[in-house]
Structure 1
Amino acid sequence: MTQRILSITSGENFRDLGGYQTTDGRHLKWRKLIRSGALGKLDDHDQAKLAALNVKYDIDFRSPAEVKQLPDHVPSTAQFHHEPVFGTDLTEASKTTADLDQELMTIPNRGASHMQEVYRQMTHLDSSLVAYRNFFNYLLSTPDDGALLFHCQAGKDRTGFGAYLVLSALGVDFETIQQDYLLTNTTTSDWVTNKLAELRAAGHSETFVNNYAQLAGVDESYLHAATSAIQAQYGSVNQFLTDALQLSNHDLRDLQSLYLTDN
């Protein structure tokens, strides 16, 4: 796992998708696919680290308001592309506690049910389908010697769904994809623990604290809400890739050629 987590100190949740095995025995190339949280606080040193990986595309899934509030510090090697999954940040990852819905204070597990609905929406909203369709276009355009980085605010939901899609397209089994998805809870555990302690110290109810924890982390039920919606409408994730995201068999073969190795 040490090799997977990038040593970025002025940003959160920077991870390499390299090394994962596909069902046909191939592996994802290292330092080709990077998932992360927002790049708006990157210092020069960390930008240089990403430039050393020859990051060619910086794909930002955040809403327009999020991008305006905290613009990316784009590595010198990369082109920035804004592909908003939502018109507004439905995940609430960028909101302060004062902005959170009143229901979070009174309804147990409202955070989890909210996130499950967000994941279902990522499977059918026009803005989401356009964003992920364009995401694959950039994936297919990344040169052999370059890397692609994709992110949202916290690097867990819109980014997590994007990782699910690309890893599925490359032939990684669902159990491995889910393990990568849940890794966010490890990489962000210190931040979440400190934030929950702050909320308790400020006098917030346990209902609110637990709901905030559900918003701040990831859970199997969130990803399963998306996969169940895809199964119900398309039959399989492969059919979603071809029908909803308009990827041809040729595109999928090219994707595998770019990002997989026999070693």
Structure 2
Amino acid sequence: MPQHPMSASVTEMPLNRTQFDLQPLFEQVQNIRDLGGKITSDGRRIQTGRLLRSANPGLATAADITRLQRFNIDVVIDFRTEGEKKLLETPFAEVFNWVADPIMVGNLSQRSDLLALKNGTAQDSRAFMIALYRDFPLQYQAQYRRFLQLAEKNRNILYHCTAGKDRTGFASLLLLSALGIDHADIIADYLESNRTNTAGNAQLLEQVNKLGLSAEVMVPLLSVEAAYLDAAQQVINDDHGGMQHYLEIVLGIDAALIRENYLESV
């Protein structure tokens, strides 16, 4: 099995609770963090600098790209649709092996109608998000299977969507579960998006306020709640006999191989 030395930039990272927070190191890459450092249920640790999650890295500055190159990323997985992308992202695509594998429910596409949002409630928004998450394990198995197959191949991976919280959050649930991280720690990592997206969400709320949309309705769409990810987990439990069965039988993933690839002794 090939060895992947810890990136030099990892040594600069402050340890933030259950994960390394990379965001202070970047100028334009939001909600970025390293899954490394987490301790598994059997007492091993995820290697640092190997598995990164983020919001859209496509608008990275030259300095951001240089820093990301230090991680020796093998592949960048992009869960966004074509409509979410911008022309300014071309330089990033020229530097990294950037692979599009879109998940169509992202970017709140089903709630884009302004009239529906203006007439909606916070409860409506939360119900939409719960339904969104319940779709992830049912409708997008092919995309998430391909993502986890890269982990089986021992790749250094950066994976993302637009805000790095929903499609990316579910991908992290699957990957961290395969690696043997306790569910409570997975939820803790998931909820970090509320902190790391604070500035961006404030800007978005300011913009939508000008369109007559209330913060009360928008906040459940822009933030994450444990109930969202738990809704996806419940579908996996109820429809597929639990996470292990879902990973190994439904998706056909060798979780033991993924653990061999990315875990180390403490």
Instruction: Specify the TM-score bucket, using the shorter chain as the normaliser.
Output: 0.7 to 0.9
- Which residue in the other structure is 1:257 paired with? 260
In structure 2, C-alpha distance between the alignment counterparts of 1:39 and 1:52, rounded to whole Å: 15
Match of 1:133 in 2: 145
Structure 1 distance, partners of 2:107, 2:212, is: 22
Deviation at 1:118, TM superposition (A): 0.7
Counterpart position of 1:120? 134
SS across alignment from 1:124: helix
Aligned to 1:108: 121
CA–CA distance in 2 between the matches of 1:59 and 1:136?
A: 11
TM-score, with length taken from structure 1: 0.86
Residue ranges of structure 2 left out of the alignment (5+ in a row):
1-12
The equivalent position to 2:100 in structure 1, one of 73, 82, 93, is: 82
Q: Deviations over 1:160-218 (max 9, x none)?
A: 00001000000000000000000000001122223324444x2725xx32221111111
Residue 252 of structure 1 aligns to which amino acid in structure 2? A
Describe the superposition over 1:207-263 as per-residue Cα deviations: whole angstroms up to 9, x where unpaired. x3222111111111111111111111012111110122111xxx2222111111112
- Aligned mates of 1:63, 1:199 — CA distance in 2: 22
* Alignment partners' CA distance in 2, 1:262 and 1:101: 51
Deviations 1:104-139 (A, max 9, x none): 2123122211111111111111xx111100001111
Which range moves more in the overlay, 153-162 or 234-243?
234-243
Unaligned runs of 5+ in 1: none
C-alpha distance after superposition, 1:37-95 (max 9, x if no partner)? 1122111111111111101110111123224666461373x322111122x535349x9
Pair 169,203 (structure 1): closer, same or farther in 2 beyond 3 Å: closer
Q: Do the aligned partners of residues 63 and 198 (structure 1) sit closer, same or farther apart at CA in structure 2, a change above 3 Å counting?
A: closer
Contact 1:23 1:173 in 2 (8 A): yes
From 161, 184, 199, give the equivalent of 1:175. Answer: 184
Distance 1:203 1:124, change over 3 A: closer
For 1:14 and 1:34, the matched residues in 2 are separated by 7
**Between the two proteins, what is the percent identity of the paired residues?**
29
Is the 2:80–2:101 contact (alpha carbons within 8 Å) kept by the matching residues of 1?
yes
Matched ranges for 1:205-216 at <5 A? 208-216=214-222
Pair 1:238-2:256 in alignment: no
1:50 corresponds to which residue? 68
Counterpart CA distance in 1 for 2:170 and 2:106 is: 15
